[in-house]
Amino acid sequence: MGTVADTAFGVAALLYGVAGALLLLQLSGASAAPWVLKGGPRALLLAAACHLAYTAAEWSARAAGPFASLGEALSSLALLVVLAILAVGRSERRTQVVGAFVAPLVVLLLLASRVRHGHAPPHLGGAILVAHIASVTVGTAAFSVAFAMSVAYLLQERQVKKKRLGGLFQRLPSLDVLDRVAWRSVAVGLPALTLGIVCGLFVGHRAQTSGAPVVTWQQYVALGAWALFAAVLLLRVAAGWRGRRAALGTILGYLGAVLVLVGYLLRGDAP
Amino acid sequence: MSAVVVVGMNHRSAPVALREQLAVPAEELDGAVRDLGALEGAREALLVATCNRVEAYAAGPDPDALARSLRSWLARRAGAALETYLYEHRGEGAARHLFRVCASLDSIVVGEPQILGQVKEAHAAADEAGTLGGGLGRLVTRAFQVAKRVRTETGIAAGQVSVASVAVDLARGIFGELQNRRVLVVGAGKMALGAARGLQRHGALLAVCNRSYDRALKLAQEHGGTAHPLTDLSLLVQASDVVVCSTAATRFVLTREELQAAMKSRRGRALFLIDIAVPRNVDPRAGDLDSVYLYNVDDLEKIVGEGLEGRSVATAQAEAVVTEELRLWQREQQAQGAVPTIAALRQRFRATAQAELERSLVGRLKHLGPEERRALEAMLDATMNKLLHAPTMALKAQSEGPEGGALATATRALFALDDAPEGAQGSAPPTPEARRKATG
């Protein structure tokens, strides 16, 4: 890997850490200094720019797209999550502070991407695999945003129910905004995940050389997560399940998705 | 030296009926402050006129005469005797008062930000009218800095202050923007309408529901909303985002079961219930329902109380900042106060040396050429500066202490600085050079 990419990677990881720390300081109310309030979102933006530079450098050096393998996909996932948080923060008040919940995840994803750095096995390559990885990555990024908003929702709702209008209540976005952004994120993530699962079935079929198809536990959990996200959407439309129930469903679904991801990371033969 | 004097009245000292007689419309502020600045003995002037206070500030050499002038000026403007309603502060007291006013410590709602803007407008008008100088003008600028420091370093601007503001804060925490949110007032309580009006100011739409439809109609017309009979309550709750209850009913107007049914129709949309009535209008068990946020009068007053409690700590911190800034201001003023004495002392030494030199140059030293004469003058200057260095430093240092004026008074007496110099026709003011050396 070139020096430029290495440097951009290191700076991005460092800045994500700094952004996470500053946003956490802001969210916890430990500091209301102007440099903390402005520093968090700015560090996040700068980190995303470095991350983007790293992705571009990698792409040109290795001629491998951002979804060529699990390593690249993890890095792209981290970048997509941050870009989504930044984009939402531009239109909805105070949502950037929710970045405090995703910053640690982003740093972990970025570091994990270096561990699983490499190409997909040649026999699994092809457009269908790239489509599978890309869809699952986009879906997981959307669910990551939904997860962060849902956690913030539960925290904020607790403040309102317990009648505590202190600092956390003032710093978090309104319940309506958190619920709306979480719902829209799930609405974006679910079709992407659906496409990813379908493509994954094709990839699995291609990889299966002989005998009966082998179904792994990750696939069961992935289907469970998909079902939970689908239920969150369906019940909202059909039965008005929103707010706390939707937030809990989203968090559970996301934990399932993370479990699947960790399972694949621990598997040695994943592309 | 000029002293600052303020004479005025505020929400505590005078009723609104009297304050409104002294009201100064914005377009008349320039003329009024010019008029104030033209008072006898006033070298500088500032007029702060808001709905809660009218204060005339002036600076001049005779504080007693100035205070009398300010009182009669205000009485003339009001066209009435104001003596028992006016307060007066001078010197340090006036500085403290202005610092407190700008820091919003003297406001009805402590910490409100409008007063600083109003004093800034008064400052701009006085500046435009040319009635501010190095005394009062500097004090006002310093008061702005004090206000900024108070707002930055204390929590005086934060916290809740009224039921209406708590209601707005909560509604925004639940719904975000309140534009076009529907607020339903059940009953006709003043506090409920106050809370609803607070929400209305943020763009919410108001509906009033009352046992007496005529009363509902009257309130709706007064406050720009729609009127509904109490029989429509269930339907109205389904369509509303915020419901404020304050009826005189002795039973629950909204039961848990009714609200549970309403939430089904609302398809889970959040409902914020404010129950200000005593006895309560809303079944307290409704607060357990998903997406229902119920606050009763005790909850609201507790939050208001917490805000005020937090504010009282912040107020004490703000008062401490004001006291500290006032001490700094006084030290600076005292240091400035030594300047005329030092300048006069230098002038006296210079004049004496110059007179002696001239006498010698026409007498025993008349044979000296121009070069020798210049050398002699330079030697005298250097000797005088060295001799005056220690007294100058002592005067400056002492002037910043509590006994600041004593040494200056002693110096003036010892060297008869207030008398005309020997051989002079009058007490000439210090030369610019002497003043520069004194301040440097």
A240 Cβ under 8 Å from any chain B Cβ: yes
> A59 and chain B: CB distance < 8 Å anywhere?
no
pLDDT for the residue numbered A265: 76
Q: CA-CA distances (angstroms) from residue A42 to A80, A82, A128, B145?
A: 17, 12, 37, 29
Chain A hits for B311, CB-CB cut-off 8 Å, are: none
A242 touches chain B (CB under 8 A): yes
Concatenated DSSP letters for B153-191? HSSTT-S--SHHHHHHHHHHHHHS--TT-EEEEEE--HH
Amino acid in the structure at residue A34: P
| Cα Rg of chain B, angstroms | 34
Q: Which residues of B are less than 8 Å from A239 in CB distance? A: 267-268
DSSP H or E stretch at residue B334: helix B297-362
Q: What's the CATH number for B3-153? A: 3.30.460.30
Question: Is B147 in contact with B104 (CB distance < 8 Å)?
Answer: yes
- What pTM, to 2 d.p., does this model score? 0.61
8-state DSSP, B8 = E
* Residue B257 contacts residue B251 (beta carbons within 8 Å): no
Q: Rounded to 5 degrees, what are φ and ψ at B40? A: -65, 130
Cross-chain residue pair B172–A239, CB shorter than 8 Å? no
Query: Which residues of chain A have a CB within 8 Å of the CB of B264?
Result: 240
Which residues of B fall within a CB distance of 8 Å from A243?
Answer: 268, 270, 290-291
Residue B274: CB atoms within 10 Å: 31
**Per-residue confidence of chain B (440 residues) as pLDDT tens digits?**
678 999 999 888 887 677 777 878 777 889 999 999 999 889 999 999 886 789 999 999 899 999 999 999 999 988 888 888 999 999 999 999 999 999 989 886 677 777 898 899 999 999 999 999 888 999 999 999 999 999 888 877 765 456 677 788 888 889 988 888 999 999 877 777 877 888 888 889 999 998 888 988 988 888 888 999 989 999 999 999 999 988 877 788 999 999 999 998 888 889 999 988 767 889 989 999 999 999 987 787 777 767 666 667 788 889 999 999 999 988 887 777 677 788 888 888 888 888 888 888 888 888 888 888 888 888 988 998 899 888 888 887 776 665 666 787 788 888 888 775 554 444 444 554 554 555 44
Q: Is B425 helix (H, G, I), strand (E, B) or coil?
A: coil
- In the predicted model, what is the mean pLDDT of chain A? 84
The reported pLDDT for the residue numbered A153 is: 95
Look at B268 and A161 and tell me if their CB atoms are within 8 Å.
no
Contact B174 A173 (CB under 8 A): no
- Write down the pLDDT at residue B435: 47
CB of A163 within 8 Å of a chain B CB? The answer is yes
Tell which residue, A62, A49, A197, has the closest CA to residue A117: A62
β-strand pairing of B205-210 with B87-90: unpaired
Q: Stretch A93-103: mean pLDDT, rounded?
A: 83
- Indicate the helix (H) or strand (E) that contains B18: helix B16-19
Residue with the larger pLDDT of the pair B440 and A44: A44
Q: Strand, coil or helix: what is B279?
A: coil
Record: contact B267-A240, CB cut-off 8 A: yes
The domain limits of chain A are 3-266
For an interface test with B, the pick among A176, A244, A245 (most B C-beta atoms closer than 10 Å) comes out as: A176
pLDDT of residue B305: 66
Is A271:A69 a contact under the CB 8 Å cutoff? yes
Concerning whether B245 is annotated as a catalytic residue, the answer is no
- For chain B, domain boundaries: 3-153, 163-290, 334-439
Distance CA(B99)–CA(B318), nearest Å, equals: 10
Whether B290 sits inside 8 A of A245 (CB atoms) is yes
A245 CB within 8 Å of a chain B CB: yes
Reported confidence tier of residue A71, pLDDT bands at 50, 70, 90: confident
A176 Cβ contact list (under 8 Å, min separation 6): B174, B175, B176, B270
Q: Which residues of A touch B175 (CB under 8 A)?
A: 174-176
What tens digit of pLDDT does each residue of A197-256 get? Answer: 888 888 777 766 655 566 678 788 888 889 999 998 998 888 888 889 999 999 999 999
Chain B within 8 Å of A162 (Cβ-Cβ)?
no
- Tell me the C-alpha distance between B296 and B166, whole Å: 12
The rounded distance, in Å, linking the Cα atoms of B23 and B50 is 7
Check residue B209 and give its pLDDT. Answer: 92
Q: Evaluate if residue A121 carries a pLDDT over 90.
A: no
Distance from CA of B96 to the nearest CA of A (A): 28
Residue of B148, B166, B293, B301 to mutate when probing chain A, most A C-beta within 10 A: B293
Q: Confirm or reject contact between A167 and chain B (CB < 8 A).
A: no
**For residues B3 and B315, what is the distance between their CA atoms, to the nearest angstrom?**
28
Q: Which CATH class is domain B163-290?
A: alpha beta
Q: Two tokens at B378?
A: 């330079």
Report ipTM (2 d.p.). 0.82
The whole-angstrom separation of Cα B153 and Cα B112 is: 15
DSSP B178-226: -TT-EEEEEE--HHHHHHHHHHHTTTPEEEEEESSHHHHHHHHHHHT-E
Q: Are B339 and B438 in contact (CB under 8 A)?
A: yes
Q: Identify the pLDDT of residue A212.
A: 56
Residue B71: per-residue pLDDT: 94
CB distance A155 to A172 below 8 Å: yes
CA distances from B281 to A20, A159, B105 (A): 46, 24, 38
Distance of CA B366 to the CA centre of its chain: 66
* Residue in chain B nearest A93 by alpha carbon: B176
Cβ-proximal residues to B318 (8 Å cutoff; 6+ apart), any chain: B103, B105, B150, B154, B156
